[in-house]
Amino acid sequence: MGQFWMNKMIILFFFSDGTFYLWETNTWTSEPWSSTSGFVKGASWDPDGRMILLAFSKSSTMGSIHFASKPPSLDAHLLPVELPGMMSLTNSQGIEKMAWDASGERLAISFKDGGDLYWGLIAIYDVRRTPLISASLIGFIRGPGDNPKPVAFSFHDKFKQGPLLSVVSPSPSTQKCCMLYPMYLEPLSIIRV
């Protein structure tokens, strides 16, 4: 079974065996890719459509596909994106979910496994995209209750004041209901010193 993400000119289509394809929509040409880091767990385009950030099922390092020229060219390079603090702080064996805000400045990551202390944490990273993607750990957030593991999370695309992350977690009182926790993250221009 495959899944896909797309911008206006390129479609990323991937399968559970670790292969994925980039299709350009002008001439419907494709390029096959593969990964030894497992299958693609998540993907997100940068705001300019110049690169794709990828999370893989068997890796604590993300990947970024950088396009060397504009579509319809599929000339691209897959480069690693290290997540400082992920392995050393969480003892995690990989990425479970990811969300990248529309400005390209914030990245939220949840982890597989990890110790009891880190159960349910979402790491928030500051992202730079010039010339390549790099990420710096800002901190962690966690939902309330005994089972704070996030069910889902996403950034609001149209919130003008800055990144707004909404997290859906199981309700502390029952496992049948979920609670939504929106979290406003200050824009980088305010946080920088």
For the question of whether the overall pTM of this predicted structure is more than 0.85, the answer is: no
pLDDT for res 191? 40
Confidence of residue 189 (pLDDT cuts 50, 70, 90): very low
- Domains of the chain by range and CATH? 3-191 (2.130.10.10)
What are the tens digits of pLDDT across the range 11-65? Answer: 887 777 788 888 888 888 888 988 888 888 888 888 888 889 999 888 888 999 9
Q: Which contacts of 54-60 are long-range, i.e. CB under 8 A and separated by 24 or more positions?
A: 54/78, 55/95, 55/97, 55/98, 55/109, 56/94, 56/95, 57/94, 58/94, 59/94, 59/95, 60/86, 60/87, 60/92, 60/93, 60/94, 60/95
Specify the pairing of strand 92-100 against strand 29-34.
unpaired
pLDDT for res 183? 63
What are the tens digits of pLDDT across the range 140-157? Answer: 888 777 777 888 898 888
- Two tokens, residue 142: 């966690």
What are the tens digits of pLDDT across the range 56-112? Answer: 888 888 999 998 887 778 888 999 999 887 767 777 778 889 999 988 999 999 888
